[in-house]
Amino acid sequence: MTKQCVCIVSGKVQGVLFRDFTCRLAKRLLLTGTVENLPDGKVKVIVEGDMVKLGGLLLQLQKGPILAKVKDMKVDWREPSNLFSNFKILYHGFLDHF
């Protein structure tokens, strides 16, 4: 069964390669969607795919990469939008380009 999951991850999740970690893992699991830093220091993940693979991704996101310290993760399940063809990192701020 295919679903969409929107996650807001908080803690020490910016500047610790959390987006890269998420992107590599999602691609390995053949999931689609996006990951982006939010202005408040959190990370937003929108991911679509098989429920079993989504569950595996969520377990890994709770741990994060070695330098991260995940404090909380809010998860919202939705019907898939089918708007994504791959998984990518979204960049918004000036410093995100360096």
Q: Hey, which residues are catalytic here? A: 19, 37
Question: DSSP character for 65?
Answer: S
Two structure tokens written together for 48: 């679509």
In angstroms, the CA 87 to CA 85 distance is 7
Question: Which residues, in sequence order, are CB contacts of 92 under 8 Å at separation 6+?
Answer: 36, 37
CA-closest candidate to residue 46, choices 22, 70, 10: 22
CA-closest candidate to residue 67, choices 23, 29, 19: 19
